[in-house]
Structure 1
Amino acid sequence: MGNIATNTIQQLEKLNSRGMDVDYSDEKVKEILLDIGYYRLGFYWNPFEINGNYQFREGTKLSDVVKLYYLDVDLRNLLIKYINRIEINFRTKLVYYVSNKHKYSPTWFIHPDIMFNSFISSFDQHYSDEFKRNNKPIKLHHNKYINDKYAPAWKTLEFFTFGVVLKIFKSLKDNDIQERISKCYEIRNLKKFINLFETIVYIRNVCSHGGVLFDLNTPKGISILPGINFNDNNRHSLDSTIKIILFILGKISESRKTELETRIKELFESHKDNEVLKSIIENKIGYEFE
């Protein structure tokens, strides 16, 4: 039956049969199901299921599930805004320091003296015909400079994803430049720096693709930094990731760090009076209320 599509009436019946307290009118439930979707909402009622038959814990309300969904949406939108600030800052530093050290090699990202061959050999996967067509400044560059195989780094990297930009950083042969950029964020250990930025890129991708955040665990443990305490020593939790984002953001702009910290606190505090959501924020996200 799980492979057969159901309509909103059948979906409502399934929720009732599984013990959900559907505390909305039938019209409102239909609106929610056609807006968010039964399958997607399932990610948010999963914490309320008590057995393999997908029965819900007594007292489970659909309104709490929907509130959890919108908490996730708000948190996702909040994080992506500030991660974008980190992404731009990191890209700018990478382009600036490498381009100025290699002034006569504007396409240093494919130079074998500067980059490892493992990256160069796969570069055209990123710099495809579609990439050139879809990014106007790149297209204009090639229309003007018809003999250029690639646009200069300060144009090209502007249109690469955060993940590709980090890959370029990791593929540099020059450890001095890598360490110089790492120290801009007051991180002296290059392996830790890469671990932290891989974590931020991972969260950025989850946010960008509408992934579920509240029960997220990072695939790699987050590197320990002086002055950052991970609750319950959990270096995979979303709360630990948020602390890393705040740390890096603070090296770019202390005011933006304070702003994000305040907005996250306000978001979580706004759900504090709901015991169901408060428990999820504490036990799934890992956040500690004051």
Structure 2
Amino acid sequence: MFTKNALTVAEQVSQLQERGLVIKHPHIAEKYLLNISYYRLGEYWYVMQQDKENHIFKPNSKFEDVIALYNFDAELRLLLFGVIEKIEISLRTKLIYHLSHEINPWWFQNFELFTDSKALVKTLSNLEAEIERTKDVSIKNHKKKHKDDGRFPPAWKSLEQTSFGALSKLYGNLKNNVASKDIIAKEFGAVNHTYLPSWLQSISQIRNFCAHHSRLWNRNLPSTVKMLSKPPNPWITDAENVPKQSNKLYMHMCLMKYMLNTIKPDNEFTERLEALFTKYPNVDLKALDMKPNWQQEPLWK
């Protein structure tokens, strides 16, 4: 039976000190703990503990290093969120453009184009809820003007209301004989439809971590991404080791960079990532699986 009681912030600070965490300014630490929960910060000091069962810290473990690591992770999420935004907008645009021309503006309602009908029903149900909730003027005007039309608004209106996760599911659920599926993959440098669905799924999950302020540093990520053996665009030199590395953030950031290079070749992802690492020199980059001289890789140049 769980018997622990809630601790005041002063008691939390005392407990951390008793366990060996160096806290120079307890009152400042209390202020942090009033704004960032003990449990959330615990995800960052966990690696500093030498006895994880009794929560005893390694010698010279400092509260200020915990906060630096927390701040680094927060800034990393903001950086990646901006990158993912560009990928999301590009994916949405490509889906709307190519499939509306290949099929028609209501392709996303056509069950004959999709492999999993149940998954499509769920996607459309969520889309319908988003459209009902939205205050978007174009949707309201469309409904008012075409109230006798039982269909969703056309793709260029409807799919602006849905999430990256839903877009990635729509793409992945398309039958492989839909020509646009390969066209979109090629435009992202993925050669064909075999690879892109797993990339989008990976990036969608990282986007959710960013949106919900969840830790990315030292997190194990899904390792099911399918990697190209010979990418058509600049990639990394140790690509043969990708399957062993794909559960850490570095490889997923490589995928983001690869896709971003097709969207905005003059992007500043490398420079901004390097600046972040320079700002927080004490952060252990091995927890992200960053490679030595990663910025010299063809992909990141």
Q: Same fold (TM over 0.5)?
A: yes
Structure 2 residue 185 is the aligned partner of structure 1 residue 155: no
Counterpart in 2 of 1:21?
22
Map of 1:267 onto structure 2: 276
Over residues 123-165 of structure 1, what are the superposed CA-to-partner deviations in whole Å (9 max), with x where a residue is unaligned?
4421344641234233342233212331111111111100101
CA distance in 2, matches of 1:148, 1:7: 59
Question: Are the aligned partners of 2:92 and 2:167 in contact in 1 as well (CA < 8 Å)?
Answer: yes
Aligned equivalent of 2:174 = 172
Task: Give 1:8 deviation, angstroms.
Answer: 0.8
Unaligned runs of 5+ in 1: none
Contact 1:20–1:59, Cα closer than 8 Å, also in 2: yes
- Tell me the distance in 1 between the aligned counterparts of 2:34 and 2:42: 14
Q: Which residue type is aligned with residue 133 of structure 2? A: R
Deviation at 1:289, TM superposition (A): 4.1
CA offset digits 1:72-116 (Å, max 9, x no partner): 00100000001100110011001100001123xx22211133334
Identity across the alignment (%): 29
Output the CA distance in 1 between the equivalents of 2:221 and 2:123.
27
TM-score, normalised to structure 2, is 0.86
* Aligned AA (2:258): F
Per-residue deviation, 1:191: 2.0
Which amino acid is the alignment partner of residue 281 of structure 1?
L
> Which residue number in structure 2 is paired with residue 281 of structure 1?
285
SS at match of 1:50: strand
CA contact (8 A) 1:49 1:55 kept: yes
Match of 1:215 among 205, 213, 218: 218
- The one-letter code of the counterpart of 1:113 is E
Aligned 8 A contact 1:110 1:123 in 2: no
* Contact 1:223–1:235 under 8 Å retained in 2: no
Quickly say closer, same or farther: Cα 1:255–1:2, change in 2 above 3 A. Answer: farther
Please say if residues 18 and 54 of structure 1, whose CA atoms lie closer than 8 Å, have aligned partners that are also in contact.
Answer: yes
Are the structure 2 counterparts of residues 202 and 59 from structure 1 closer, same or farther at C-alpha, using a change threshold of 3 Å? same
Displacement of 1:48 in angstroms is 0.6
SS in 2 for 1:239: helix
Which residue number corresponds to residue 33 of structure 2?
33
SS at match of 1:151: coil
From the superposition, tell whether residues 265 and 156 of structure 1 become closer, same or farther in structure 2 (CA, over 3 Å).
Answer: same
Q: Which moved more, 1:32-41 or 1:65-74?
A: 32-41
Gaps of 5+ in 2: 294-301
Aligned residue type for 1:167:
K
Aligned equivalents of 1:193 and 1:240: distance in 2? 15
Q: AA paired with 1:142?
A: K
Q: Would the aligned equivalents of 1:135 and 1:159 in 2 still touch at CA under 8 Å? A: no
Deviations 1:152-193 (A, max 9, x none): 111111111001011111222343210111010122242222
Aligned-partner residue type, residue 122 of structure 2: S
1:139 aligns with 2:140: yes
Task: Judge which range, 87-96 or 192-201, deviates more.
Answer: 192-201
| CA–CA separation in structure 1 for the residues paired with 2:245 and 2:103 | 42
Please give the alpha-carbon distance, in whole angstroms, between the structure 1 residues aligned to 2:29 and 2:120: 52
* CA deviation profile, 1:254-279 (whole Å, cap 9, x unmatched): 111xx01111011112223x3xx2xx
Give RMSD over aligned pairs: 2.0
